[in-house]
Amino acid sequence: MANVVVVGAQWGDEGKGKIVDWLSERADVIARFQGGHNAGHTLVIDGAVYKLHALPSGVVRGGKLSVIGNGVVLDPWHLIDEIETVRAQGVEITPETLMIAENTPLILPIHGELDRAREAQNSVAKIGTTGRGIGPAYEDKVGRRSVRVADLGDAATLETRVDRALVHHDALRRGLGLESVDRDALLAQLREVAPKILAYAAPVWKVLNEKRKAGKRILFEGAQGALLDIDFGTYPFVTSSNVIAGQAATGVGVGPGGIDFVLGIVKAYTTRVGEGPFPTELHDADGQRLGERGHEFGTTTGRKRRCGWFDAVLVRQTCATSGVNGISLTKLDVLDGFEELKICTGYELDGARLDYLPTAADQQARVTPIYETMKGWSDSTAGARSWADLPGEAVKYVRRIEELIQCPVALLSTSPERDDTILVTDPFAD
């Protein structure tokens, strides 16, 4: 049976939550493979709005197994609060429906404190983090000083892990003018939350490989977007993990041969939260209109998103680095009513034309977009569920995007509602 990876193909906020939820009807397992609770997914189902951050989008589907993989960094206190919030909305979450990889690194309170202190004191170039400790938690992971889920099950191991982490963190905190960590208080917090988290702990790699052998369909869910990838994003204004599709395999413990289809989620225009280069950003009435019509405010932070025209150069690039087989184009309805639309087809840098975004930060900041102008449409695309429901100019816009990014549209989303989706190619088809 086909297994599908869903990745954002821009700077995040592309509408992955709805698409993952929509696809999860066809899946048996939904596995989150990277990121932290800095990512936010908003789902609208039968008028009910669910805002998820750490939980996989599949939890709102009954009868599915949702998995938090080892590629994620997990704030255990936030997760418990989020579970209670979703339960209050009538969603049942039990150890039979939610599983956390035993080797998942934890985000501790000291990570958030370090994150915020660094950002406040960084006078050189702010990264624009959410301050939730995701970056420092990933640093501890690669520095081999993480507290992981399995460590919560043994008192002696937990103390050893905490002591190793504090040797590093206390030294950093002194340099930032922060007090040393209260070791006993931190251990007490971890002991208190341990049974609540351990109830969901499991050898995810083993479970998922058994599911594969049994012919079950797995949907791999990423957070953020490929342009925030630590290696292939607009560094250093990126997240602290790999976001591209290759991370799906290592983020849950399934070999790359277990991935059959990569679906890239692409917004019909471009947005970005926080700092960093943005070649097609608009500072005019069109940019304001996109933001207002698209309700472009971050699910997690509430921060206003920067808005701009569709950048085909960047999406073509992310489709290549993630091996995207087809895209899901979202928020087409936000473009309704524009007399003209622009698509970035290339860049100019120092008099030369480029068909990709260069790696060097100074060059990224200096590229200027080369635009192609297309006629807009006055009729509404909102709620369309077939190509026949779309205005002719909207169809032309979608087809031109396919040509420029060199990748076909597999799904077309025309509103936040789950069923307002046009299926062109079923990613789960064998």
The residues carrying an active-site annotation are 13, 41
Q: What b-and-e string marks burial along 378-389, b requiring 16 or more CB atoms within 10 Å of the CB?
A: eeebeebeeeeb
For residues 430 and 428, what is the distance between their CA atoms, to the nearest angstrom?
Answer: 6
306 φ, ψ to 5°? -75, 140
- CA-wise closest residue to 393 among 376, 409, 380: 376
Strand 421-423 versus strand 409-413 pairing type = antiparallel
Q: Which residues pair with 41 in a beta bridge?
A: 52
- DSSP designation for 273: -
Evaluate whether 346 touches 282 at the Cβ level (below 8 Å): no
Evaluate whether 342 touches 371 at the Cβ level (below 8 Å): yes
24 φ, ψ to 5°? -65, -20
For residues 283 and 149, what is the distance between their CA atoms, to the nearest angstrom?
Answer: 45
Evaluate whether 305 touches 272 at the Cβ level (below 8 Å): yes
How many residues in total does the chain contain?
430
